[in-house]
């Protein structure tokens, strides 16, 4: 399984939100860091097919088996972001996900499961498993409007996991979670990343520094860092903050570059 991002760009008027980004993502957890306006959300919407890139391509390579000839042989199947097969592999939690306040947690998951094409029996079983996984089993029959912010966020994570996605994209997923919930979330994501591609964006370094296999850092629509981070390189949060303090200093002195 491989997500291929090849020279992808997106521009709004004179603002370049994503600037010729190329990446190859495999199984594991990828932490996408960047200040507000760095291009994180635009990149994620491009990867989900919500936005169309101005240039470049996005596709998922999945291992398959050729049925031609006398014997079956391994082959890679490439699926473009615009195809239905790609969306079937995708789980997505946007920054502000929509929900129906008068639905119960269970009813909401069953509704989302139906939209994703799960049959009724499978949907009921999967919804129950996911509610237990995110710690909402005891309140699954209560209306969502009674949930706390953290509970709503956990419900959003559960809906993103419906259909067993191979690619899970989470935009600021820890917003509204208390410290204990953050720890549970990190453990959950680390487990999912063992067999799937997980990309999560945040501006909170502590959310990803211990679980991300690879750190991606965006600034002005470009990747300024890509790779593993270890203690020998120093403090990740200090490095991250320094990138944006430099911009602030330039603005204050009138030397914007």
- Per-residue pLDDT of 4-21, as tens digits, reads 999 999 999 999 999 999
Report the distance separating Cα 125 and Cα 133, nearest Å. Answer: 12
Higher pLDDT, 21 or 204: 21
Q: So what's the pLDDT on residue 207?
A: 77
Q: Looking at the whole model, is its pTM more than 0.85?
A: no
Under DSSP, the state recorded for 38 is: S
Higher pLDDT, 150 or 226: 226
Residue (of 148, 131, 153) closest to 140 by Cα position: 131
Q: What is the mean pLDDT of the chain?
A: 85
Residue (of 122, 132, 134) closest to 164 by Cα position: 122
What are the pLDDT digits (tens) for 154-175? 899 899 999 889 999 998 887 7
Q: Say whether pLDDT at 147 is over 50.
A: yes
User: pLDDT grade, residue 230 (50/70/90)?
Assistant: confident
Radius of gyration of the chain (CA): 20
For residues 223, 225, 227, 232, the Cα torsion angle rounded to the nearest 10 degrees is -170
Q: So what's the pLDDT on residue 247?
A: 58
Across the strands, what pairs with 225? 217
Q: Say whether pLDDT at 240 is over 50.
A: yes
Query: What average pLDDT score do residues 245-253 get?
Result: 51
Highest mean pLDDT among 79-88, 135-144, 185-194, 221-230: 135-144
Across the strands, what pairs with 23? 5
**Which DSSP helix (H) or strand (E) runs through 3?**
strand 2-12
Give helix 120-133 / helix 149-160 axis angle, nearest 10°. Answer: 130
Report the distance separating Cα 202 and Cα 239, nearest Å. Answer: 15
Q: So what's the pLDDT on residue 76?
A: 63
**Which DSSP helix (H) or strand (E) runs through 86?**
helix 84-88
Token digits of residue 211: 């679980």
What residue spans define the domains of the chain?
1-61+76-89+165-251, 98-164
Report the distance separating Cα 156 and Cα 171, nearest Å. Answer: 11
23-27, 83-87, 252-256, range with the lowest pLDDT:
252-256
* β-pairing verdict for 214-219 and 55-66: unpaired
Q: So what's the pLDDT on residue 252?
A: 43
User: pLDDT grade, residue 255 (50/70/90)?
Assistant: very low
User: pLDDT grade, residue 1 (50/70/90)?
Assistant: confident
For residues 103, 112, 58, 166, the Cα torsion angle rounded to the nearest 10 degrees is 120
Query: What average pLDDT score do residues 111-125 get?
Result: 90
Determine the topology of domain 1-61+76-89+165-251 in CATH.
Rossmann fold (3.40.50)
What proportion of the chain, given as a percentage, has pLDDT over 70? 89
Report the distance separating Cα 149 and Cα 178, nearest Å. Answer: 9
Residue (of 69, 129, 136) closest to 104 by Cα position: 136
């Amino acid at each position: 399984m491989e997500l291929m991002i090849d020279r992808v760009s997106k521009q709004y008027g004179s603002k370049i939100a994503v600037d010729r980004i190329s990446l190859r993502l495999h199984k594991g957890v990828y932490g996408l860091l960047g200040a507000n306006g760095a291009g994180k959300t635009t990149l994620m919407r491009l990867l989900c097919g919500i936005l169309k890139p101005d240039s470049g391509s996005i596709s998922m390579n999945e291992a398959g088996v050729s049925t031609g000839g006398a014997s079956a042989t391994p082959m890679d199947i490439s699926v473009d972001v615009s195809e239905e097969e790609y969306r079937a592999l995708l789980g997505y939690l946007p920054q502000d996900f929509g929900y129906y306040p008068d639905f119960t947690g269970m009813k909401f998951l069953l509704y989302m499961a139906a939209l994703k094409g799960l049959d009724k029996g499978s949907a009921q079983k999967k919804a129950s498993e996911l509610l237990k996984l995110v710690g909402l089993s005891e309140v699954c029959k209560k209306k969502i409007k009674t949930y706390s912010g953290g509970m709503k966020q956990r419900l959003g994570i559960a809906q993103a996991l419906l259909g067993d996605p191979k690619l899970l994209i989470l935009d600021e997923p820890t917003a509204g979670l208390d410290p204990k919930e953050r720890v549970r979330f990190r453990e959950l994501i680390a487990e999912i990343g063992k067999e799937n591609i997980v990309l999560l964006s945040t501006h909170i370094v502590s959310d990803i520094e211990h679980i991300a296999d690879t750190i991606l850092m965006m600034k002005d629509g470009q990747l300024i860092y890509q790779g593993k981070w270890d203690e020998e390189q120093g403090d990740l949060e200090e490095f991250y903050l320094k990138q944006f303090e430099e911009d602030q200093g330039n603005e204050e002195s009138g030397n914007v570059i």
